[in-house]
Structure 1
């Protein structure tokens, strides 16, 4: 994925969590790339044309495991 190419960004199936405040507030969007590489793109919902970070499947799974294990619960 060329993260600066708008056409590539449009091919990502972007998702916003249902836990996001105000249904579309300051949120992170994530979605699988459509190129069959098992990578996930992440961006800020208010700045869809800004930088996109792309993670491998292993990186994404490690992050999700950490979330499920409360490793990123910084404010409680």
Structure 2
């Protein structure tokens, strides 16, 4: 089951991205039937490989996305 049709959402990538090796992010309305195990699934952040736009996308809740971005800013993934 798919949350949304990935071809119908607005994908964004960093303005610092100059090559083809990057990820794209889209924010979409959540689907409680798909992500019912997640408490804050009203809005989901989708992440995909920009080189494979028809490939799979990972879905994260706002709190999961915020934790990831915080880790990136703190240098946890160096």
Is this a same-fold pair by TM over 0.5? yes
Q: What residue ranges of structure 1 are gaps of 5+ in the alignment?
A: none
Q: What residue ranges of structure 2 are gaps of 5+ in the alignment?
A: 31-41
Runs of 4 or more, structure 1, over 4 Å off, are: none
CA shift, 1:9, in A, is: 0.6
TM-score (norm 2): 0.74
Instruction: Tell me how far apart the structure 2 counterparts of residues 39 and 18 of structure 1 sit (CA, whole Å).
Output: 22
What is the match of residue 21 of structure 2? 26
User: How many residues were matched structurally?
Assistant: 67
Task: State the superposition RMSD in angstroms.
Answer: 1.9
